[in-house]
Amino acid sequence: MADGALDGLVIADFSRVLAGPLATQLLGDLGAEVIKIESPAGDDTRRWRPPEHGGVSTYYLGVNRNKKSVVFDLHSARDRQLARELAARADVVVENFRPGTLQRFGLDYASVSAMNPRSVYASISGYGEGAGARLPGYDLTVQAASGLMSLTGPPDGEAFRTGVSVFDVTTGLHATIGILAALRHRDRTGAGQHVRVNLLGTALAVMSNHALAAVVGDAPSRMGNAHPSLFPYEPFRAADGEIVVVAANDKQFGALARVLEHPEWAEDDRFSSPRARNIHRDILRPLLTRALGSRRVQEWFELLTAAGIPCAPINSIEAGIAFAEQLGLEPVVELDAHGAAVPGIRNPIGMTATPPRYDLPPPVLDEHGEHVRDWLLQAGSASP
């Protein structure tokens, strides 16, 4: 097994649910030693089922590989001292408690950095550490509060949440980026620092061009599957289902017009530029719908792809995984959990010298408790 890029780093993971555990799983995939600290009840997501695999929630399984689990009851003086010892020895501490909660346990940034000035301490919150500190942060509430739901759903219908917890996931990614940048800074200076990310700030950053449009007074409204700036850029009905078709520039639209056997569309002033197609989408849409309704989805996928036109069938998740397998992406990995295979989704980062590793399956609650406690009671050992 090749060395991991983060070999030798110890991560004390006080986080639970999704954003924090995703960040620490990524660090573990890249070689860091991740110790997952849980309450006696365990991470909430252990009980979030269905769906499940082997009696364990897939929610938990999806973001907790490459970790060791230890139970610390922070209301116990002995466990609290062991947790402080772990935080003092760790290169990185990750937590997503409500702001201020860990201060009473001596596990806040000020306390940890006093014990270990080299520590990189990452805090993940819902709405920041100021006026929003009292607000509990859940992906759904942030989708509502940020404005994302005002963009999601049919134009004349109710607002929808996205099908996945998009801001939990992207906040975890931003936390990982911040941690890696802080470690680079520590390599240069010897000093750690406090990395802060929050769901609402991430949400506004992730909405990117839409958020900036709101800032300048031209915010988009809910458009269902349509795009405010591009057309065609949405699903169309084929003979046996729906296919997404994209023509983001004139070259792509010209190719689309030829494949649909209407090359004259590309010369029509109403459709000859992205702005013109956008303005006249209500005229162009029925023309495209009529043409695309003449063949099956797979036929169009092959024809359009051969012509260089971005398109895709609307797959189920199972079909999406199968499609990735057909492309040689090997999306599913299997980890050995005491002789039983536990599947996982492959880390999408490819690295030639230090690729991601899949050494440990998601741990049983307190599976490594005795081992971690013994390590903490010994002096001089760099990692558990």
| Terminal CA-CA length for the chain | 19
Q: How many CB atoms lie within 10 A of CB 275?
A: 9
Helices (H), the chain: 19-29, 58-61, 77-89, 109-115, 139-146, 166-189, 199-215, 250-259, 274-279, 281-292, 297-306, 317-326, 369-377
Strand pairing report for 332-337 and 233-237: unpaired
Taking the C-alpha atoms of residue 330 and residue 348, their distance in angstroms, rounded to an integer, is 10
Burial of 307 (0-12, 13-18, 19+ CB in 10 A): middle
Do 200 and 210 contact (CB within 8 A), yes or no? Answer: no
Go through 139-170 and write b for each residue having 16 or more CB atoms within 10 A of its CB, e for each that does not: bebbbebbbbbbbbbeeeeeeeeeeebbbbbb
- Tokens linked to 364: 């049983």
Nearest Cα to Cα of residue 169 among 222, 227, 124: 124
- Tokens linked to 166: 């998009």
Do 19 and 96 contact (CB within 8 A), yes or no? Answer: yes
Do 14 and 95 contact (CB within 8 A), yes or no? Answer: yes
Taking the C-alpha atoms of residue 118 and residue 262, their distance in angstroms, rounded to an integer, is 65
Do 318 and 304 contact (CB within 8 A), yes or no? Answer: no
Q: Which of the residues are catalytic?
A: 168
Do 241 and 180 contact (CB within 8 A), yes or no? Answer: no
What SS3 state is found at 219? coil
